[in-house]
Amino acid sequence: MRYTLLIALREFAENAKTKGFWIGIFTLPLLLGVSIAVSTKLAHSEPSRYFVVVDKSSAFAEPIGRSIEWEYQRSVLQALGQYVQENLRAGQQPEVNLATYQTAVDTFITAGGKDAYLPRLRPVLRGNAPEFKEPTRLFVRAELPKEIDAGASSDAILAGLRPYLLGERRIAVGGTEAPLFAALVIAPDAVDGATRWTGTEAIQYWSTNLAVNDLPELIRSALNAETRRRLYVARGVDAAKVREIEATYARLGTFDPGKAAGTETVSTSDRIARNVPLAFVYLLWMSIFTVMQMLLNNTVEEKSNRIAEVLLSSVTPNEIMMGKLLGIAGIGLTMIGAWLATVLIAAQLYHGAGAEVIGPAVDSVVASGLIPMFVLCFLLGYLIYAGLFLSIGALCNDMKEAQSFQGPLMLIMMVPLFTMVFVNRDPHGTLATILTWIPLYTPFTMMNRAAADPPILELVGAMLLMIATALLLLWSAGRIFRMAMLRAGSSGWRCCAPATVRSSPSWCSGFAAAAMRDVE
Partner 1 sequence: MDDKVLELENVTKRFGDFTAVHGVNLTIPRGSIYGFLGPNGAGKTTTIRMIFDIIKPTSGRITILGASSAFDVRRRIGYLPEEKGLYKAMTAAATVAYFASLKGLSRKTAKQRAYELLERYGLGEFADTRIQSLSKGMGQKVQVICAVAHEPEFVVLDEPFSGLDPVNQQVLEQLIRDFAGRGSTVIFSTHVMQHAERLCDHLLLIAKGRKIFDGTVASAKAVIPRRVLISTESNIDPLAGLDGVAEIKPLGESPSAPGTKDWEIRLRGQTSAQTILERCFQAGIVLRRFDHSEPSLHDAFVALVGAHEEPA
Q: Determine, following the binding rule CB under 8 A, whether residue 297 of this chain makes contact with partner 1.
A: no
Nearer to partner 1, 209 or 305 (CB): 305
Q: What's the closest the beta carbon of residue 293 comes to partner 1, in angstroms?
A: 16
Q: Determine, following the binding rule CB under 8 A, whether residue 19 of this chain makes contact with partner 1.
A: no
Q: Determine, following the binding rule CB under 8 A, whether residue 306 of this chain makes contact with partner 1.
A: yes
Binding mask 118-137 for partner 1 (x = CB under 8 A): --------------------
CA gap 134, 117 in Å, rounded = 13
Considering only 310, 410, 460, 464, the residue that binds partner 1 (CB under 8 A) is 310
Q: What's the closest the beta carbon of residue 302 comes to partner 1, in angstroms?
A: 8
Q: Determine, following the binding rule CB under 8 A, whether residue 519 of this chain makes contact with partner 1.
A: yes
Nearer to partner 1, 179 or 489 (CB): 489
Residues 374 and 281: beta-carbon distance below 8 Å: no
CA gap 97, 158 in Å, rounded = 44
# residues near partner 1 by CB under 8 A: 35
Region binding partner 1 by CB under 8 A among candidate stretches 54-62, 301-309, 360-368, 381-389: 301-309
Q: Determine, following the binding rule CB under 8 A, whether residue 314 of this chain makes contact with partner 1.
A: yes
DSSP letter at 508 equals I
Considering only 362, 424, 486, 507, the residue that binds partner 1 (CB under 8 A) is 486
Closest by CA to 167, choosing from 178, 154, 155, is 178
Nearer to partner 1, 32 or 497 (CB): 497
Q: Which residues pair with 183 in a beta bridge?
A: 52, 206
Q: What's the closest the beta carbon of residue 312 comes to partner 1, in angstroms?
A: 5
Q: Determine, following the binding rule CB under 8 A, whether residue 6 of this chain makes contact with partner 1.
A: yes
Q: Determine, following the binding rule CB under 8 A, whether residue 400 of this chain makes contact with partner 1.
A: no
255-259 — which CB contacts under 8 Å span 24+ positions? 258/453
Region binding partner 1 by CB under 8 A among candidate stretches 34-42, 159-167, 206-214, 511-519: 511-519
Residues 349 and 86: beta-carbon distance below 8 Å: no
Work out the end-to-end distance of the chain between its first and last CA atoms, rounded to an integer number of angstroms: 23
Residues 229 and 239: beta-carbon distance below 8 Å: yes
State the amino acid at position 46 in one-letter form. E
Considering only 312, 338, 438, 452, the residue that binds partner 1 (CB under 8 A) is 312
CA dihedral 314, 315, 317, 318 (to 10 degrees): 180
Strands (DSSP E) found in 81-147: 139-142
Q: Determine, following the binding rule CB under 8 A, whether residue 517 of this chain makes contact with partner 1.
A: yes
Rounded alpha-carbon distances, angstroms, from residue 110 to 71, 113, 333, 342: 14, 7, 57, 45
Nearer to partner 1, 291 or 432 (CB): 291
Q: What's the closest the beta carbon of residue 306 comes to partner 1, in angstroms?
A: 3
CA gap 303, 401 in Å, rounded = 12
Q: Which residues pair with 176 in a beta bridge?
A: 173
Nearer to partner 1, 43 or 310 (CB): 310
CA gap 143, 394 in Å, rounded = 73
The binding site for partner 1 (CB under 8 A) comprises 3, 6-7, 10, 14, 17-18, 301, 304-307, 309-316, 486, 489-493, 496-498, 500-501, 514, 517-519
